[in-house]
Amino acid sequence: MFKFLEPNKKEIDFVKRLNRSFNKYNSKKTPAGKRFYDIKLVYDAIVYGGPRMVSYLVSTIHKWMGSQTFYIIRIFDKDEKYGIKIGITHNNVDKRNLEGRYMNGYTSEEVLGLYYYDSGLAVSMLEDFVTKKFKGRNIKLNIDAPGKGEIFPESMEDEIIGAVENEYRKYEGYIGLRRK
């Protein structure tokens, strides 16, 4: 049988403040970067959540600011059609495959290129470059997963790799928050 702990007054107050703050700013009208939560909530979350909360927060901060990888992979959809997918991750590409997104209708067959940066800003700049350069040329495969708009015809493989190779070094010194 489970034993439930009685929350103390501080925990009850924390949860109420957390919910009020979240509900106040969590709307489509207020973009994520414009939501100004009470900074004390982070401290209190660490106090109440302990090492698990610290681990989660560090991972999230790393996702937005830490070292990142821009990748180009060859993917196949449910119908065995394939395309070239670009993406970014703060994990390595193999770990990203383990997140479950490729179980939702496509599989990664081959990594065609990996480009590492020290910061999230640099990788998002390269991704912006590629999506703008090849805008309107992406394809839709039979998948239901994040990143489905970042897939291009297999015939563009050399063109995409060449564009990334030429552009990659331009962003190496940029440090800052990833844009999306």
10 Å Cβ neighbour count for 177? 13
Q: Are residues 79 and 139 in the same domain?
A: yes
Q: Is residue 91 part of a domain?
A: yes
Per-residue pLDDT band for 132 (boundaries 50, 70, 90) equals very high
More confident residue, 11 or 133: 133
Task: Identify whether 176 is part of a domain.
Answer: no
Please count the residues of the chain: 180
**Which of 61, 58, 88, 59 has the alpha carbon at shortest distance from 72?**
88
Domain boundary residue, one of 18, 36, 65? 65
Residue 109 lies in a domain: yes
Model's pTM, two decimal places? 0.74
Would you state the torsion angle of the CA atoms of residues 57, 104, 179, 95, taken in this order, to the nearest 10 degrees? 50
Is the pLDDT assigned to residue 29 strictly greater than 80? no
Residues 131 and 73 in one domain: yes
Residue 97: pLDDT above 80?
no
Give the domain range for residue 147: 68-171
Give DSSP secondary structure letters for 112-142: EEEEEESSHHHHHHHHHHHHHHTTT-----S
The tens digit of pLDDT for each residue in 119-128 reads 989 999 999 9
Task: Please work out, in degrees rounded to the nearest 5, the angle formed at the alpha carbon of residue 84 by the alpha carbons of 166 and 126.
Answer: 35
